[in-house]
């Protein structure tokens, strides 16, 4: 006697079976259903230019699929969206690199959760709050990444000027962000183009996309005030993680996105264009993050040529869903690879559990992405 499996929309459920044996009515014990993905995936689609949401049902489907986005934000404020990040109220902040000239096309645009829920009827919303240049302030050139700390302060990395801009939580509700003066502007000593940012235990991790290194700033050393674009506060990293300079798939090579897993390990994407060692996605164990050195990757995913395209192709944004599945945005072949939690101990050319690719996805040079609220169109 065994339970039978029923596949319903990509999820497996175990159903008990009742049978008559020797005049006795026996029943197998029903097993609990597999946990479900509860996040939507929000993608900065730089070539759109727009932001796409793929629902939990779409990202949970196994194998290669070509789904139409559940929702699309086509705000007229977008020029070249680079990253997506949610605040504690599930409002979406979009980091837009603009045209890279330091004009009004560069910015940070916020859309309320209510606006996101209304995208089905209004797909071109005006940002509720926007930080844009005016008179050279704040001084964006090509902002590409944003992250919030636990206090709600926003950190924006701009590799166009190799600076980090800090805006306090109170500034983000100040009414107007036009020409907003940052609370702090700082630079890491020895950096060339800081891009990806991530907090862990209040310490700030910074990916040097223009080189082959990752920096760590202790929470006590993160500037909270002072500095300008012309005269930034320069701070030295407490820890510097260096590349092994491997000829193929170096441990660090033009790192882009950073994200921490549930076990405290640091996952990041390598564009592979500084040392020309090739693109990959790497995991460093928690124990390798505390002192400067050249950590050995605990896991490293390298490109697998599938029937539809390479699984890793200029990887950029990385994000985890509630089940611990890892999504990777592939800028070079307009795809998103999702490695299931059970695959994250594998190495080399791993076939993603889910691979979103095709014309219907409308993916066009996807960059940053994040799992956030799973919003469906309202009737």
80-112 confidence digits (pLDDT tens): 999 999 999 999 999 999 999 999 999 999 999
pLDDT surpassing 60 at residue 128: yes
- Please, which pLDDT band fits residue 29 given cuts at 50, 70 and 90? low
pLDDT surpassing 70 at residue 20: no
What's the pTM? 0.91
Q: Which residue has the tokens 């559940």?
A: 70
Q: What pLDDT is attached to residue 379?
A: 52
Calculate the alpha carbon distances from 341 to 6, 57, 344 in Å. 22, 16, 6
- Please, which pLDDT band fits residue 311 given cuts at 50, 70 and 90? very high
pLDDT surpassing 80 at residue 21: no
DSSP string covering 254-282: SEEEEEE-TTSPEEEEE---SS----EEE
- Rounded mean pLDDT, 42-52: 99
Calculate the alpha carbon distances from 159 to 187, 191, 256, 350, 367 in Å. 10, 10, 11, 31, 14
In this predicted structure, which of 21-30, 55-64, 106-115, 188-197 has the lowest mean pLDDT?
21-30
Q: Which residue has the tokens 């907090």?
A: 199
- Rounded mean pLDDT, 188-195: 98
* Residues 81, 66 contacting (CB under 8 angstroms): no
* Residues 280, 302 contacting (CB under 8 angstroms): yes
Q: Give the domain ranges of the chain.
A: 1-34, 35-373
- Rounded mean pLDDT, 284-294: 98
pLDDT more than 70, % of the chain: 91
- Which residues lie closer than 8 Å to 261 by C-beta, 6 or more apart? 267, 283, 320, 324, 326, 344
134-152 confidence digits (pLDDT tens): 999 999 999 999 999 999 9
- Rounded mean pLDDT, 148-174: 98
DSSP string covering 1-70: ---EEEEETTEEEEE--EEEETTEEEEPPPPPPPP---EEEEEEETTTTEEEEE-HHHHHS-EEE-PPPS
Q: What pLDDT is attached to residue 10?
A: 37
- Which residues lie closer than 8 Å to 171 by C-beta, 6 or more apart? 177, 180, 183
- Which residues lie closer than 8 Å to 46 by C-beta, 6 or more apart? 80, 81, 82, 97, 331, 364, 365, 366, 367
Four-way CATH pick for 35-373: 2.130.10.10, 3.30.950.10, 3.40.50.620, 3.30.420.40: 2.130.10.10
β-sheet bridge partners, residue 184: 166, 226
- Rounded mean pLDDT, 180-197: 98
- Rounded mean pLDDT, 162-175: 97
Q: Quick one: DSSP state of residue 113?
A: H
Q: What pLDDT is attached to residue 285?
A: 98
pLDDT more than 90, % of the chain: 88
pLDDT surpassing 70 at residue 339: yes
pLDDT surpassing 90 at residue 14: no
| C-alpha to C-alpha distance for 88 and 101, rounded to whole angstroms | 32
Residue 248 is encoded by which pair of tokens?
Answer: 């193929």
Q: Closest Cα to residue 59, out of 319, 282, 359, 368?
A: 319
Q: Closest Cα to residue 213, out of 228, 229, 230, 193?
A: 193
207-265 confidence digits (pLDDT tens): 999 999 999 999 999 999 999 999 999 999 999 999 999 999 999 999 999 999 999 99
Buried b (16+ CB within 10 A) or exposed e, 242-266: ebbebeebbbbbbbbbbbbeeeebb
pLDDT surpassing 60 at residue 27: no
In this predicted structure, which of 24-28, 128-132, 210-214, 308-312 has the lowest mean pLDDT?
24-28
């Amino acid at each position: 006697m065994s339970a039978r499996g029923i596949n319903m929309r990509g999820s497996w459920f175990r159903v008990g079976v009742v049978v008559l044996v020797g005049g006795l009515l026996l029943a197998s014990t029903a097993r609990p259903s597999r946990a479900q993905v509860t996040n939507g995936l929000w993608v900065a689609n730089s070539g759109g230019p727009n932001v796409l949401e793929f629902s939990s049902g779409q990202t949970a489907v196994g194998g290669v699929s070509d789904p139409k986005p559940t929702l699309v934000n086509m705000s007229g404020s977008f020029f070249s969206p680079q990253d997506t990040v949610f605040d504690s109220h599930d409002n979406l902040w979009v980091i837009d690199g603009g045209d890279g000239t330091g004009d009004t096309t560069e910015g940070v645009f916020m859309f309320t959760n209510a606006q996101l829920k209304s995208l089905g009827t209004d797909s071109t919303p005006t940002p509720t709050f926007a930080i844009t240049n005016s008179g050279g302030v704040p001084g964006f050139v090509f902002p590409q990444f944003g992250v919030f700390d636990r206090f709600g302060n926003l950190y924006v990395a701009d590799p166009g000027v190799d600076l980090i801009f800090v805006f306090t939580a109170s500034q983000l509700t100040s009414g107007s962000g036009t020409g907003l003066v940052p609370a702090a502007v700082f630079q890491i000593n020895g950096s060339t183009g800081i891009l990806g940012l991530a907090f862990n235990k209040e310490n700030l991790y910074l990916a040097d996309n223009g080189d082959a290194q990752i920096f760590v700033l202790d929470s006590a050393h993160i500037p909270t005030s002072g500095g300008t674009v012309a005269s930034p506060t320069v701070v030295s990293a407490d820890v510097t993680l260096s590349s092994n300079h491997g000829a193929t798939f170096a441990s660090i090579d033009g790192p882009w996105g950073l994200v921490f897993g549930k076990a405290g390990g640091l996952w990041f994407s390598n564009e592979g264009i500084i040392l020309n060692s090739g693109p990959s996605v790497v995991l460093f164990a928690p124990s390798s993050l505390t002192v400067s050195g050249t950590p050995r990757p605990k896991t490293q995913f390298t490109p697998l040529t599938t029937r539809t395209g390479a699984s890793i192709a200029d990887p950029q944004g990385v994000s985890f869903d509630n089940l611990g599945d890892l999504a990777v945005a592939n800028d070079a072949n307009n795809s998103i690879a999702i490695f299931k939690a059970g695959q994250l101990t594998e190495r080399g050319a791993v076939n993603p559990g889910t691979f979103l690719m095709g014309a219907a996805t409308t993916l066009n040079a996807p960059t940053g992405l994040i799992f956030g609220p799973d919003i469906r169109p309202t009737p």
